[in-house]
Amino acid sequence: MISGSSSKAPRAEIRTPFDKETQEVLVHRLRHLARQAAERLDLLPLGPLWAFVGYDRAELLAHLERRHLQGCLICGSELDERPVICHIDPLGAAVDGASLQRVMALENFGFGHDSCNRRLGARSLS
């Protein structure tokens, strides 16, 4: 596979319904995003992820499957095989624990094309 534009590790292919591996990747990604934001806000240790975000693994995966079928959150088109998790109100908008919980809420994120998400940058979709 040739990918000239990204220096990051290749992202996982994501198809609906999610297979076991995809589920692990997505849970890991969410955990990583939460940790990163919490670290920036000096909120670590965050404690158990599900207690912090207020939903569980099954709810997260069901939500993401629905969102995946709805297409790109930004342009509305069908997703490609390697979408990114994309927030309506950006994670960067969080300034404390309560606002981080708000931007981590299920209704605040779905999938987007990597290119759309890059174009949007840190701006809000709402």
Q: Rounded to whole angstroms, how far apart are CA atoms 52 and 64? A: 18
| Cβ at position 114, least distance to Zn ion in Å | 9
Q: Going residue by residue from 104 to 123, which x/- string records binding to Zn ion, judged by CB under 5 A?
A: ---------x--x-------
**Cα dihedral sign for 36, 113, 101, 23?**
negative
| Cβ at position 8, least distance to Zn ion in Å | 19
Q: Going residue by residue from 6 to 35, which x/- string records binding to Zn ion, judged by CB under 5 A?
A: ------------------------------
Residue whose CB is less far from Zn ion, 64 or 100: 64
**Binders of Zn ion among 67-96, rule CB under 5 A?**
72, 74-75
| Residue count (the chain) | 126
**Binders of Zn ion among 43-72, rule CB under 5 A?**
72
Token pair, residue 118, equals 């890059």
Residue whose CB is less far from Zn ion, 60 or 74: 74
CA atoms within 13 A on the CB side of 78: 4
Burial of 9 (0-12, 13-18, 19+ CB in 10 A): exposed
Residues in touch with Zn ion (CB under 5 A): 72, 74-75, 113, 116
